[in-house]
């Protein structure tokens, strides 16, 4: 949220090998990756509108 509030574009990524990321970036074992996020300035021609979202009441119920 901090990066977005500063005007940066962000995209979370899945499907990576956390063991390889940890080995490359955190070899001492003190920290561990649990997700990856790309952060930068997007090319405006490649930005698509947000996809449709279901209404809260269609998918959840407060008990």
**Does the pLDDT at position 52 exceed 90?**
yes
pLDDT value at residue 56:
96
Backbone angles phi, psi at 37, to 5 degrees: -140, 125
Under 8 Å CB-to-CB from 36, ≥6 apart: which residues? Answer: 12, 13, 14, 16, 21
pLDDT value at residue 62:
94
pTM of the model: 0.55
Please write the tens of the pLDDT for every residue from 16-28: 999 999 999 999 9
pLDDT value at residue 37:
92
């Amino acid at each position: 949220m901090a990066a977005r509030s500063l005007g940066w574009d962000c995209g979370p990524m899945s499907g990576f090998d956390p063991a390889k990321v940890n080995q490359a970036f955190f070899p001492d074992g003190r920290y561990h990756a649990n997700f990856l996020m790309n952060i930068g300035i997007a090319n405006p021609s490649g930005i698509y509108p947000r996809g449709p979202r279901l209404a809260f009441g269609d998918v959840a119920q407060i008990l």
